[in-house]
Chain A
Amino acid sequence: MELILPFLIGILFAASLYLILHRHFFKLILGLIIFGLANNLFVFVIGRLTRGGSAIIPQEDSVATEPFADPVPQALLLTAIVIGFGIQAFAIVLIKRVYQAFGTNDLDDMNSTDQIEEQEK
């Protein structure tokens, strides 16, 4: 399991960056979502994997019994997932509005804000 996860994270990162570099809006959204997933999985795995031990302190003890999983990455992860969810939702709505306003699916058509204003003749 510990061997598979790093490869999975690597594949997710690679796939997401590949998708983000596409010009198509839908692939951009997919890429952003997968990028978020890859990040979350990375934070989860780097906090060390401990199976079957939750960090709950038994009533008669003052410390949790070893081995227990580090609760901090899990807490971070929950926060990151919620934030990521909100931002992805915003990004999807934004892209939908852009699609409606511009009537195009191609990011290359959206370069008007980069251009230097035409010199008036």
Chain B
Amino acid sequence: MNHLLLLLPLLIPLYAAILCLFFWRYVKVQQYIAVLAQAGLLVSTFLLLLEVNTNGIATTQIGNWPAPFGITLAADLFSCLMVLTGSIVGMAIHLFSIKGLDRGRQTFGYYPILLLLQLGIGGVCLTGDLFNMFVWFELLLICCFVLIALGGTKPQLEGAIKYVTINLLASGFLLTGIGLVYGITGTLNLAELGLMARAPMTHPSMVTLAGMFFLVAFGTKAAIFPLFFWLPASYHTPPIAISSFIAGLLTKVGMYAMIRLFTLVFIQDKGLMLPLFTVLAGLTMVIGVLGAASQNDFRKILSFHIVSQIGYMLMGLAISTPLALAGSIYFIMHNVLVKTNLFLISGVVAHRHGTYALKKLGSVYLQHPFLSLLFFISAFSLAGIPPFSGFWGKFMLAKAGFEADYFGLVLTSLAVSLLTIFSMTKIWNEVFWKRKPETDPLLEVMTEADLRVNRLLHLPVVFLVVFILFIGVYAEPTVALAQRAAEQLLNSEMYINAVLKR
């Protein structure tokens, strides 16, 4: 039962995607299959979280080969929280896509690819093998390539080519790093690598070198400071349903891989890594938020904020105390939900008004007070105003930073929070508050059917806001979970013993 529960987050999207392919011409059937599969995924990941929470780390060996030889799947609290958050967001995106994505794209295999993307995310989070992680990442990336290019409009193709090129390079660096690790240790099982990293080594500098390859590879995928330029160039190009899913989840999966590897495997050279992470985290925050301040497009502002928020997640890894890592984990969950939601809200606004440019929008508060409330909650969560979710993440990170004497980094993060509020205020003023500039009155006329669709599009946004409010207002259980997940990450013996059955 335990093994099946661990496999379900992979099996459900895989079989659902295959099933969808059988109904290529029947988009309606695909929609039902996809939404049912998402609901199943949500339930199974929640059960997995309960199981791991009560009985400790769950592991299984594919093909029943004993641990260092077979491919391991392992779920600790951190991976469970990631797949659970992923499936919540996936559910919202599926609901949004049914009405919010044009028919043409839906007929060209949108649902199977979205499900395979879910499979890739689940795979990265649950695998216990380094090479397997690479394979899942490739699966996830090729789905993203297709999703970004799906439809083939000019901006999409342009964004896709930048995205594809930089990610191919990053994957190459990842493969080189994996080769290096195998050459030094002769194993790719994460638990055994962790065990070796804690024993005296013959080539400590080589391990650091391999760690640098992983830093560059995952740093590119997670969009940390010098490697983020592809993100604001490509994330806003596809239709909003696609870009909100990719924007919400993918960089965080890269961050997950980084936190996993740099707490389990590459731990020897803390004297080099931690200051490096500190500098990178600070620069990522500042550059991201400054980039956002200069933009005039709803989606582009949000894209730059992704970069800025990645800095906070890296900050937890840089401080590397239990509280800081708990802050990072909580922050990742919060950010996946909030960022996806803000993108979806921009989609709802654009569905009604036909543009994302701040200059052309306006009066949304007058026309849709409810949507404005939803945006208000999400934006304040992102900026970190209590009692919303972002506050708790930033509070934990700042407290951990003060305890560990990272004053510069904490002050930077607080200043960046202020600038985040500035950006959110800018969106609020321009989109919701100011009077809408006079435009062609023909564009304003919407049929009754369109208005009904627009009302339906609110549904996934409300769905996500419920979760955002839950982890914000009633933060205690989530914070406690994040803290236990951080303890599991820092006491790697638990993970190693669970996988190697010692």
| List of B residues within 8 angstroms of A43 by Cβ | 175-176, 178-179, 182
Q: How many A-B residue pairs have CB under 8 A?
A: 111
| List of B residues within 8 angstroms of A114 by Cβ | 232-233
B141–chain A nearest beta-carbon distance, Å: 8
| List of A residues within 8 angstroms of B142 by Cβ | 86-87, 90
Contact B165 A32 (CB under 8 A): yes
Instruction: Tell me the complex Cα distance, A5–B12, Å.
Output: 44
Contact B155 A112 (CB under 8 A): yes
Contact A101 B152 (CB under 8 A): yes
Instruction: Tell me the complex Cα distance, A36–B360, Å.
Output: 45
| List of A residues within 8 angstroms of B162 by Cβ | 110, 113
Chain B residue at smallest Cβ distance from A76 = B131
A2 in contact (CB, < 8 A): no
A80 in contact (CB, < 8 A): yes
A46 in contact (CB, < 8 A): yes
Contact A20 B169 (CB under 8 A): yes
B398 in contact (CB, < 8 A): no
A69 in contact (CB, < 8 A): no
Chain A residue at smallest Cβ distance from B141 = A87
Q: Which of A73-96 contact B (CB under 8 A)?
A: 73, 76, 79-80, 83, 86-87, 90-91, 94-95
Contact A36 B182 (CB under 8 A): no
- Which of B84-92, B294-302, B467-475 forms part of the interface with chain A? B294-302
A18–chain B nearest beta-carbon distance, Å: 13
| List of A residues within 8 angstroms of B296 by Cβ | 116-117, 119
Contact A113 B155 (CB under 8 A): yes
| List of B residues within 8 angstroms of A26 by Cβ | none
Contact A94 B157 (CB under 8 A): yes
Instruction: Tell me the complex Cα distance, A76–B174, Å.
Output: 13
Q: Which of B292-311 contact A (CB under 8 A)?
A: 294-297, 300
| List of A residues within 8 angstroms of B175 by Cβ | 39-40, 43, 80
A120 in contact (CB, < 8 A): yes
Contact A36 B172 (CB under 8 A): yes
Classify chain A's interface size. Answer: 35 or more
Q: Which of B225-284 contact A (CB under 8 A)?
A: 232-234, 236-237
Contact B176 A113 (CB under 8 A): no
| List of B residues within 8 angstroms of A64 by Cβ | none
User: Secondary structure of the B side of the interface?
Assistant: helix
Instruction: Tell me the complex Cα distance, A74–B295, Å.
Output: 48
Contact B158 A32 (CB under 8 A): no
B160 in contact (CB, < 8 A): yes
Instruction: Tell me the complex Cα distance, A20–B161, Å.
Output: 13
Taking a contact as CB atoms closer than 8 A, the residue among A36, A112, A116, A119 that contacts B158 in the complex is A112
A97 in contact (CB, < 8 A): yes
Contact B179 A113 (CB under 8 A): no
Chain A residue at smallest Cβ distance from B135 = A79
Contact B161 A76 (CB under 8 A): no
Residue count of chain B within 8 Å CB distance of chain A: 46
Q: Which of B2-33 contact A (CB under 8 A)?
A: none
| List of B residues within 8 angstroms of A42 by Cβ | 176, 179
B145 in contact (CB, < 8 A): yes
Contact B180 A101 (CB under 8 A): no
| List of A residues within 8 angstroms of B172 by Cβ | 35-36, 38-39
Taking a contact as CB atoms closer than 8 A, the residue among B145, B169, B182, B237 that contacts A76 in the complex is B182
| List of B residues within 8 angstroms of A56 by Cβ | none
Contact A73 B158 (CB under 8 A): no
A47 in contact (CB, < 8 A): yes
B368 in contact (CB, < 8 A): no
A57 in contact (CB, < 8 A): no
Q: Write the B342-374 contact mask toward A (1 if CB under 8 angstroms, else 0).
A: 000000000000000101100000000000000
Contact A110 B158 (CB under 8 A): yes
Instruction: Tell me the complex Cα distance, A97–B146, Å.
Output: 13
Instruction: Tell me the complex Cα distance, A95–B164, Å.
Output: 10
Q: Write the A94-112 contact mask toward B (1 if CB under 8 angstroms, else 0).
A: 1101100110000000101
| List of B residues within 8 angstroms of A72 by Cβ | 182, 188
Contact B182 A94 (CB under 8 A): no
Instruction: Tell me the complex Cα distance, A79–B134, Å.
Output: 10
Contact A116 B131 (CB under 8 A): no
Contact A113 B165 (CB under 8 A): no
Contact B182 A73 (CB under 8 A): yes
| List of A residues within 8 angstroms of B165 by Cβ | 20, 28, 32, 91
Taking a contact as CB atoms closer than 8 A, the residue among B141, B154, B183 that contacts A102 in the complex is B154
* A117 with B297, Cβ < 8 A, contacts A39-B176, A79-B131, A83-B135 known: yes
Taking a contact as CB atoms closer than 8 A, the residue among B154, B155, B158, B182 that contacts A47 in the complex is B182
4 tightest A-B CB contacts, nearest first = A46-B183, A43-B179, A39-B175, A46-B179
| Extra inter-chain contacts (11) besides given A32-B165, A73-B182, CB under 8 Å | A36-B172, A38-B172, A42-B179, A72-B188, A76-B131, A76-B178, A83-B135, A87-B138, A90-B164, A112-B158, A114-B232
